Structure 1
């Protein structure tokens, strides 16, 4: 009920009014049954436009922190993220990664349409970054197809660091499903999972037109956020002298 209310009554009409979103390739999404929608990730609003434009309900795995913030603001955030179809998972590492995987597989085996961002985080500069292999393992364990989805223009609506959304056109391009049934029973093979993930990322590159970078986006962000090393004095440089 809350999902329907957000999509058709609250947020959906505003997004349609200000951004005039369009979509192509809807015929590639099955009317029923499980599948993974693997999308590039340019902005927070990616998770709002895709459910708005796809008739079927999409479930995203979201950070648990979005759902447990205290106070009225925390309650509102919880209601909002639940309303747009997000399910909380602990992504802090260790056993949490396995728990997130189990949640995804459970949803897929229940016939759900699962949305995921193989890059793991938003692109820091609009380019497409190396995908993480979790999406491949999900597909193999649940035995489902992966449908590539390109979000175009969402980074203009919601640039990184901006608090206000801007009225800009958004387009969603959905590609043909990728069938990995030939690798059935091979989950856990890191070479197979990397090959599958690279195939998914290549499809996303073709759909989105983005430049591909063979690095993890999270690593690039961490490097950019790290403090610059202190400057060291060149021992062979003569000291500056003042005239006079």
Structure 2
């Protein structure tokens, strides 16, 4: 079958347009499974017609403000504060940071760029399994108290997995299968004034270089009027590459100035500015190694 060649966000936008044109309501879960023309045709055949139980779909999928609106109280279990655990994690991460500083080198530059109040999206390059932990290790205490993640559902399955997800404030939604729900979960946390960590590349880099960025962070920033704090991570690929074992190597994390969503004319412009800044920060980090 002919592949549609669409990313997750593009599929959501295509579905919304088709709902309007065909006056049907497509399965919310279907977007993650439609990759070919045949699968798209089957999804349309199985779609529910608009009737008494359905309202007319939004005319424009570009109206992400509508998609991201509403409250989601079911996410309280993942987003609520856990003061005792936060203190334990802060102490543990600072201890690991101090230890790595002694044996290999660990530097953090401009961590004050993460605001002490209000929502912010922290976006960094992704070259290692360690990246989420490194960002948490580099966050100031007020940032760690508010940090949350969306995704990593494959690591938080089952009773124990869901317990750990709640503990570490990770909302376990597979964005490839249910991107709209993942975006809504991210928006809920940001509306609560929290710190969302996103890796816009969508996956770990094989060679450590910064790949193209996906649009999710820019969509959230512009529709919720939330600033983005870029961060460049250097050394993580050498410590633990995608295919390899953990090795001793210096680590440097550099935070850049906040990017205001209103300072760019479009999502594409904001995304390009963000990627250029992350690349610059990675280069700066490589030059400030111990």
TM over 0.5: yes
Quote the offset at 1:80 in angstroms.
Answer: 5.2
Q: Which structure is higher in RCO with an 8 Å CA cutoff and minimum separation 6?
A: 1
Whole-Å separation in 1 of the counterparts to 2:165 and 2:220? 23
Deviations, residues 163-213 of structure 1 (Å, cap 9, x unaligned)? x43332211000001112256xx9xxxxx2222111110111111129xxx
Whole-Å separation in 1 of the counterparts to 2:94 and 2:165? 14
Q: Does the Cα contact within 8 Å between 2:127 and 2:237 map onto a contact in 1?
A: yes
The residue that corresponds to 2:64 in the other structure is none
Whole-Å separation in 2 of the counterparts to 1:139 and 1:114? 11
The residue that corresponds to 1:178 in the other structure is 259
- Cα gap change, 1:98 to 1:66, in 2 (>3 Å): same
Matched, 1:122 2:196: no
Q: Does the Cα contact within 8 Å between 1:38 and 1:117 map onto a contact in 2?
A: yes
The residue that corresponds to 2:277 in the other structure is 203
- Which structure shows the bigger proportion of residues in helix conformation? 2
Quote the offset at 1:34 in angstroms.
Answer: 0.6
Structure 1 residue runs without a partner (length 5+): 187-191, 211-244
The residue that corresponds to 1:90 in the other structure is 174
- Cα gap change, 1:195 to 1:145, in 2 (>3 Å): same
Deviations, residues 67-118 of structure 1 (Å, cap 9, x unaligned)? 1147xxxx2x55555554433122233xx11111111111111000111011
Deviations, residues 28-62 of structure 1 (Å, cap 9, x unaligned)? 11111111111111111110011112121221222
- Cα gap change, 1:167 to 1:12, in 2 (>3 Å): farther
- Cα gap change, 1:155 to 1:80, in 2 (>3 Å): farther
State which structure, 1 or 2, has the greater radius of gyration over its C-alpha atoms.
1
Matched, 1:194 2:276: no
Whole-Å separation in 2 of the counterparts to 1:37 and 1:5? 22
Greater alpha carbon shift after TM alignment, 56-65 vs 200-209: 56-65
Matched, 1:36 2:121: yes
TM-score, normalised relative to structure 1: 0.72
Quote the offset at 1:26 in angstroms.
Answer: 1.6
The residue that corresponds to 2:106 in the other structure is 21
- Cα gap change, 1:141 to 1:86, in 2 (>3 Å): same
Whole-Å separation in 1 of the counterparts to 2:86 and 2:251? 21
The residue that corresponds to 1:214 in the other structure is none
Whole-Å separation in 1 of the counterparts to 2:252 and 2:175? 29
Whole-Å separation in 1 of the counterparts to 2:224 and 2:88? 30
- The DSSP-based 3-state class of the residue aligned with 2:151 is strand
- The DSSP-based 3-state class of the residue aligned with 2:172 is strand
Whole-Å separation in 2 of the counterparts to 1:92 and 1:153? 28
- Cα gap change, 1:31 to 1:13, in 2 (>3 Å): same
Q: Does the Cα contact within 8 Å between 1:120 and 1:132 map onto a contact in 2?
A: yes
Q: What RMSD over aligned residues (CA atoms) do the two structures have, in Å?
A: 2.2
Structure 2 residue runs without a partner (length 5+): 1-83, 285-290
| Number of positions where the alignment pairs a residue of Structure 1 with one of Structure 2 | 194
Quote the offset at 1:3 in angstroms.
Answer: 4.0
The residue that corresponds to 1:61 in the other structure is 150
The residue that corresponds to 2:221 in the other structure is 139
TM-score, normalised relative to structure 2: 0.61
- Cα gap change, 1:40 to 1:134, in 2 (>3 Å): same
